[in-house]
Amino acid sequence: MTQNETPVWFITGCSTGFGRELARLVLARGWRAAVTARDAAKVADLVGSEDRGLALSLDVTDPTQITAAVERVRNTFGRIDVLVNNAGYGYQSSVEEGEDEKIRAQFDANVFGLFALTRAVLPTMRAQRAGHVLNVTSVAGFVGFPGSGYYAATKHAVEGFSDALAAEAGPLGIRVTCVEPGPFRTDWAGRSLIQTPNAIPDYAETAGARLKATSEKSGTQAGDPVRAGEAMIRITEMDAPPRHLVLGAFGYEAVTDRLRARLAEIEAWRETSLGADYPQG
């Protein structure tokens, strides 16, 4: 983050959950922030005077709103130091039962909207030669759980995008971190989750069981969104922030187990992999 005494944050998806708690924490520090939601009235209570906070309506799938929001923040505060791409939602179904319209709508919000907003903010950060992009993905950015194939696909897409962005923008002073939460007590299942019910018996014990468990466990998750927000703030103050910030014990175990297993499998097939090249000499 810039050494500016009152850095400027741009946070999407602030009506509830991670975005709302993070916005509270940032503004409580006396920093400046643009807090956004599809309906600005739902985040107006977070901000005080416009010299420190802006409550903006922003649907990340609407290019006109993206342009207007970024211009408003830049004209008001003169800079953008941290972009938090938090807006998005979940869609659960078995892969076979996924509905095309719902799949595409989720990609528009979770992937293409995030891409578009990042592109809109990058010119400002590039001119500053400073900035930090925090893309809130998920443990699903590493692990495709049953029932969450399409949601995981959106998060995997953002992870790959972030790798490329870090390689391109890092030399320009722009840092990139993927924030990967496990289950957190944010009522995500109640307000930000769409499901296509499982009707095919063959998937009852996999996708069907996960859809049911997601709803039943809502409100009892171990993750604390306030502590998550504090962790996100902390990494923006570091000279060398992590590229990946996995949050919560469940997330840590799921991600590290998956990566260890993946590496072991790749190593086990090393000779086959190397043998796919033209013979040397």
Residue ranges making up the domain that contains 100: 8-268
Beta-carbon count within 10 A of 169 CB: 18
The domain tally of the chain equals 1
CATH for 101: 3.40.50.720
Could you tell me the pLDDT band of residue 187, with boundaries at 50, 70 and 90? low
pLDDT for residue 2: 45
Contact 63, 116 (CB under 8 A): yes
- pLDDT of 175: 98
Mean pLDDT of the chain: 93
- The answer as to whether 122 is a domain residue is yes
- Spatial separation of the C-alpha atoms in residues 181 and 179, rounded to whole Å: 6
Of the two residues 221 and 252, the one the predictor is more confident about is: 252
- Paired residues of 135 in beta bridges: 85, 178
Question: Tens digit of pLDDT for each residue in 255-281?
Answer: 999 999 999 999 999 999 999 999 987
What would the pLDDT profile of 23-38 be if each residue is shown by its tens digit? 999 999 999 999 999 9
With respect to residue 103, please indicate whether it lies within any of the assigned structural domains. yes
Residue among 150, 151, 252, 278 flagged as catalytic:
151
Please give the pLDDT value at position 190: 55
Across the range 32-52, mean pLDDT stands at 90
At residue 191 the predicted structure's pLDDT band, cuts being 50, 70 and 90, is low
| Average pLDDT, integer, range 146-157 | 97
- Residue 146: pLDDT over 90: yes
Question: In sequence order, what are the residues at sequence separation of 6 or more whose Cβ sits closer than 8 angstroms to the Cβ of residue 29?
Answer: 233
2 within 8 A of 25, measured Cβ to Cβ: no
Mean pLDDT calculated for residue range 234-251: 96
pLDDT at 182: 85
> Over 50: is that where the pLDDT of 43 sits?
yes
pLDDT tier, 3 (very low <50, low <70, confident <90, very high otherwise): very low
Residue 278 domain flag: no
Q: Is residue 96 part of a domain?
A: yes
In this prediction, residues 238-257 reach a mean pLDDT of 95
Mean pLDDT value of segment 225-232: 93
Cβ contact 245:179 at 8 Å:
yes
Using 50, 70 and 90 to split pLDDT, how confident is the model at 4? low
**For residue 267, what is the enclosing H or E element?**
helix 249-268
Active site residue 252: no
**Cα atoms in the 13 Å half-sphere on the side-chain side of 140:** 22
Is residue 2 in some structural domain?
no
Domain presence at residue 280: no
Q: What is the pTM of this model?
A: 0.93
At 247, which helix (H) or strand (E)? strand 244-247
Asked if 117 and 12 touch (Cβ cutoff 8 Å), the reply is yes
Please give the pLDDT value at position 49: 65
Is 15 domain-assigned?
Answer: yes
